[in-house]
Amino acid sequence: MPVLGISYAQKPSDRQQFALLGDFKLESGQVISDCRIGYRTYGKLNSAKTNAILFPSWFGGTAKNIEYTFPWKAVDTTKYYLITADALGNGVSSSPSNSVKQHGPRFPQFSIRDMVESQYRLLINKMGIVHLHAVMGISMGGIQTFQWAVSHPNFMDVLIPIVGSPRPSSYDLMGYNIYAKIIEDDPAFQHGYYKVNPVIVPAVMLAEFATTTPEYMAKTMSRDSFAEWMKKIQTAKNRDWNDYLYQSKAVIGHDISKPYGGSMQEAAKLVKAKMLIISSKQDHLVNPAPAIEFSKLLPAKLLLLDSDRGHIAPDFNNPAMQTAIVSALDGE
């Protein structure tokens, strides 16, 4: 599924850093050998180490990609210390594609909860940060934000999930499972043991199909230009397909209420931080209903975007979204 494009910076800086976690035990009991987590930082950490904001990466995205779409107008890095984190399986942090000891399908399946725990270890062990001002993220970054809310409820003051979900809806599960099955059934995928990363056209097409809306596509791409779009799709270069598959399975298995008998009411009782939930009414990739329903269980603020851009509706240049985030971060 494509990297989100929101408002582009001119050029990403060379800020990449890594935290080495050693052998990292997953919630399944399996272990990622020599686990490492990538991250980038902006601004200055105050002496009390209380002004940090964590921004996990979205599906298939990296901390470097976040810098392209960085919310300069919503997060003041003269005031806050921003940490953008590479999620497990994104090809920068430990992933099927870059693991030496557990390469490809030998890599253990991780969860959204494992992504959060790896970031927690990064903050505690590497950076000495024992409390965050906020966690915020887009798409799978928003999904991780929901998990942070229950995994470490006292660790942050503010939570801002953007087009994320506390668990996939049935519609989401349908789309994610179709996407995973397309990858797994492609002959060039070779059950994950491919030597050259294949081009899996139907998976790319499905991602493009679901990211926006019929209205947006009809408006922005003419019927006559469809053949050119198909040509580009068939030659598109993608990140490692094992990485995509592992992250998609992490999203499929995500449910913050799982440890509480599937009760969102019980999960909501754990949330301590102030919460601003930003969802997109016309989102065909992450259905907004679970996030909207969760907001009703909390004293959370809800900003519902209504745009034919669908999943890519979030825009940090949007005054309403910008104001809502600034207000949430500043405690207003």
- Whether pLDDT at 65 is above 60: yes
**R_g over Cα of the chain:** 19
Q: What is the pLDDT of residues 6-64, one digit of tens each?
A: 333 445 567 899 999 999 999 999 999 999 999 999 999 999 999 999 999 999 999 99
Structure tokens at 216: 């947006």
- Whether pLDDT at 250 is above 80: yes
Report how far residue 92's alpha carbon sits from residue 327's, in angstroms, rounded to the nearest whole number: 32
User: What percent of the chain is predicted at pLDDT more than 90?
Assistant: 89
Work out the mean pLDDT of the chain and round it to a whole number: 94
Q: Which of 162, 237, 182, 263 is nearest to 2 (CA)?
A: 237
More confident site: 231 or 3: 231
Region for residue 44 given its phi and psi (left: phi exceeds 0; alpha: psi -120 to 50; beta: otherwise): beta
Beta-strand ranges (E) seen in 30-170 are 31-42, 52-56, 81-85, 132-138, 156-162
Fold entry, domain 17-168+253-329? Rossmann fold (3.40.50)
Provide the pLDDT for residue 67: 86
Would you place residue 317 in the very low, low, confident or very high pLDDT band (cuts 50, 70, 90)? confident
β-pairing, 31-42 vs 81-85, is antiparallel
Q: 194: helix, coil or strand?
A: coil
Specify burial of residue 34 (Cβ count, 10 A radius: 0-12, 13-18, 19+): middle
Provide the pLDDT for residue 73: 74
**Edge-to-edge strands, sheet with 301-305:** 17-25, 31-42, 81-85, 52-56, 132-138, 156-162, 274-280, 301-305
Provide the pLDDT for residue 68: 81
More confident site: 4 or 29: 29
Torsion of CA 91, 92, 97, 101, to 10 degrees: -150
- Whether pLDDT at 280 is above 60: yes
Q: What is the pLDDT of residues 292-312, one digit of tens each?
A: 999 999 999 999 999 999 999
Provide the pLDDT for residue 3: 35
- Whether pLDDT at 1 is above 50: no
What are the backbone dihedrals phi and psi of residue 274, each rounded to the nearest 5 degrees, phi first?
-65, 140
- Whether pLDDT at 138 is above 80: yes
pTM of the entire predicted model: 0.95
Give start and end residues of each alpha helix (H) in 37-91: 63-68
Provide the pLDDT for residue 4: 35
- Whether pLDDT at 155 is above 50: yes
Enumerate the domain spans of the chain.
17-168+253-329, 172-246
188: which residues sit within 8 A by CB, 6+ positions away? 194, 198, 199, 200
Report how far residue 305's alpha carbon sits from residue 308's, in angstroms, rounded to the nearest whole number: 10
Q: What is the pLDDT of residues 15-31, one digit of tens each?
A: 899 999 999 999 999 99
Report how far residue 86's alpha carbon sits from residue 327's, in angstroms, rounded to the nearest whole number: 26
Q: What is the pLDDT of residues 86-129, one digit of tens each?
A: 999 999 999 999 999 999 999 999 999 999 999 999 999 999 99
Interval 142-160 mean pLDDT: 98
